[in-house]
Amino acid sequence: MRGTTWGHSSPSLDVTSAEGIRAAVTEAERALGPIDILVNNAGVTLDKASVEVTDEEWDEVLVTNLTSMFRCARAVAPGMIERKRGKIINVGSMYGRLGVPRYAAYCASKAAVDGLTRSLAAEWARHGIQVNCLAPGYMNTDIPRAAMADPKTRERFLSKIPARRIGEPTEAAALAVYMASSAADFLTGQTIYLDGGQTTAW
């Protein structure tokens, strides 16, 4: 099961299920009212030599990281179009811009999220809906934090980041709040890389 819950007693949402997404949107609207903000944040990764990646593993990464975003956006869009307002935030990754060995499926899925974001933004802008992509770099969360417990790994990570630090989850949250606010009503179709300058470095 992948996804999140909107109530203490609600089941987790499997974002790979189109039927599950439709049911979840119906239940959320019944419990909380119209959906004006959607954050597409479910995702999986795969660290594996490309010649060893199976079709099943490739498909799992793509359906979780990309197809689920389209399906969730498609499910909430009719209501947003009717109300003439809405914010959709797709959580991408700096890996969508970088070529990273052993991460072909993940990089491809996140690069495709950029294209999906631009297409939906262009199609729905006239309905008052803004669609943007928040693409974090390394954040101070469990996996990077564990990896950087090793001093050599930490130095290798930080040497690639012009800011010489990783980001904090609160910084990503603040950017998401901005994207969801009325201050961002003229911002649409954009991917913002929150990565300490890593995607600009040479």
106 is catalytic: yes
Residue 33, helix vs strand vs coil: coil
For residues 133 and 190, the answer to whether their CB atoms sit within 8 Å is yes
Active-site choice (106, 138, 178, 193) = 106
Rg over alpha carbons for the chain, rounded to the nearest Å, is 17
Distance CA 40, CA 145 (A): 23
Token reading at 132: 């943007």
Closest CA relative to residue 177, chosen from 96, 102, 110, 87: 87
Token reading at 134: 């928040």
For residues 160 and 198, the answer to whether their CB atoms sit within 8 Å is yes
Distance CA 193, CA 26 (A): 32
For residues 43 and 64, the answer to whether their CB atoms sit within 8 Å is yes
Active site residues: 106
